[in-house]
Amino acid sequence: DVKVTQSSRYLVKRTGEKVFLECVQDMDHENMFWYRQDPGLGLRLIYFSYDVKMKEKGDIPEGYSVSREKKERFSLILESASTNQTSMYLCASSARGAPGNTEAFFGQGTRLTVV
Nearer to another protein, 17 or 51 (CB): 51
Site residues (CB under 8 A) for another protein? Answer: 30-31, 33, 35, 40-45, 48-51, 54, 56, 58-59, 88, 90, 92, 94, 96-100, 102-106, 108-109
Q: CA triplet 70, 104, 50: central angle to 5 degrees? A: 40
Angstrom distance (rounded) from CA 95 to CA 111: 26
CB of 112 to another protein, least distance (A): 14
What proportions of the chain, in percent to the nearest 5, are helix, strand and coil? 5, 55, 40
Angstrom distance (rounded) from CA 31 to CA 9: 22
CB of 33 to another protein, least distance (A): 6
CB of 84 to another protein, least distance (A): 19
